[in-house]
Structure 1
């Protein structure tokens, strides 16, 4: 009798450890989603963002990045299982480069290490 109770308790513990909604990451039911974010930090100069949508089978969206030369890079993309990832990259603005450069950066020649 004790053995039967022990087996029943063990089976109950296993059933609780693996509930029905626990399954593989690659679920067979497509899950649509939509998200976006943006970062614009004037102090550090960071300016980027992304938006993306999915109907569960295909994904489409775009992201933007402010480049160090002053231009803005935009990538519009789509992705699905038949065509893969397809991106269109575009740039806006004009590249700005400094007119005056500082002194050359040199490193000490003391055997390769810093002291």
Structure 2
């Protein structure tokens, strides 16, 4: 997501660079809050001439929120401040937990959704490595 947002920004900036758009103005924003997929993100941006300000937020897989505020100008270039808000939550581990590859065991799966503590992994817990 970050690389796509930054790539989008630089493509737009390159398209307008040096083409006499000194008075270019735009403003946009959007947000997604999907309780089914737990996708939570938003972005906003404003351009006035050569100066651009904006930011975006997104919910990380570990439960924290990334908040990015950025600005760009011909004099200072691109500047971004990235902040992580909240406390990371450890993943729950799901799977058979015994054996290994070829011995009836499987690797298992990891989920960060709705987790507030480690799941009980016990002494038999494994990660499917077979040793």
What band does the TM-score fall into relative to the shorter chain?
A: 0.5 to 0.7
Runs of 4+ in 1 over 6 A off after TM superposition: none
How far apart are 1:82 and its partner, in Å?
2.2
Structure 2 residue 27 is the aligned partner of structure 1 residue 29: no
Q: Does 1:43 align with 2:46?
A: no
Give yes or no for the alignment of 1:52 onto 2:57.
no
Tell me the SS of whatever aligns to 2:50. Answer: coil
TM-score of the aligned structures, taking structure 2 as reference length: 0.56
Is 2:69 aligned against 1:76? Answer: yes
Superposed CA RMSD: 2.3
Q: Is the 8 A contact 1:33 1:56 kept in 2?
A: no
> Which structure has the larger Rg?
1
How many residues of Structure 1 are paired with residues of Structure 2 in the alignment? 84
Give the distance between the partners of 1:43 and 1:36, measured in 2 at CA: 22
**What secondary structure does 1:69 align onto?**
coil
1:64 to 54, 57, 72: 57
Structure 1 segments unaligned to the other structure (5+ residues): 1-23, 108-115
**Unaligned stretches of 5+ in structure 2?**
1-14, 98-105, 108-127
